[in-house]
A and B are shown apart, each in its own frame.
Chain A
């Protein structure tokens, strides 16, 4: 079984709808991240969490919110989806260690299309 899972894997939604992307991990890691990937732009950090009570904004947090329900679960919400949020979304985890030097482990991604 995969260590980092994301649901759904694909989602098509309409402008203005609320949508939640979920991430679960069995690696026992404290740190979790949400990125979006756009062609030609690479990966950009949306939010990250170093433990259950810690939530931090990343490079592009506007229009998104997150919830860290447990050590193993980190959800990303789009309160009112818009077309320019169409992208490939990745969840990642990393272990406790020297922050910045830790290896990140990525899920398989969720492809979101907002019409």
Chain B
């Protein structure tokens, strides 16, 4: 079985500061891991995904995430927050042939 835990349902950062959104996963088999972003009144769109290639994954809009098996983590980072990054972010886990399991989401606020 797979599951994800997102630590912090709300995160606030100042514009230009580091963004760090935390995700820990549980999986009995090698996982696939995803970060999706949801802007207000829109559906989700993929930011990045890990599918057992490079452990550091680069996504759109300057975001990246690092798969750390020893810590069962897949935290999302961005060096410098922009006002347009304000959104809800979801971590998700899957495994080969299996369905997706989403985390409960982290709402990111960017303070000018």
Contact = CB atoms under 8 A, between A and B. Distances in A.
A26 to B, nearest CB: 15
B87 interface: no
Q: How large is the interface on B (under 10, 10 to 19, 20 to 34, 35 or more residues)?
A: 20 to 34
B54 interface: no
Contacts of A44: 102
Given A40-B9, A101-B32, A101-B94, A45 B100 contact: yes
Nearest to A107: B43
Q: Is the interface of B mostly helix, strand, loop or mixed?
A: loop
A104 B97 contact: no
Contacts, number: 62
A42 B104 contact: yes
A48 to B, nearest CB: 6
Contacts of A100: 32, 94-100
A108 B44 CA distance: 8
B82 interface: no
Interface stretch (B11-19, B45-53, B65-73): B45-53
Contact of A90 (B32, B43, B51): B43
A58 B45 CA distance: 21
A45 B99 contact: yes
Contacts of A80: none
Interface in A1-53: 4, 33, 35, 40-45, 48
Q: Which of A98, A104, A107 has the most CB of B within 10 A?
A: A104
Q: Which of A35, A42, A59, A98 has the most CB of B within 10 A?
A: A42
A106 B101 CA distance: 15
Nearest to B51: A101
Nearest to B4: A42
Interface of B: 9, 32, 34, 41-46, 49, 51, 90, 94-105
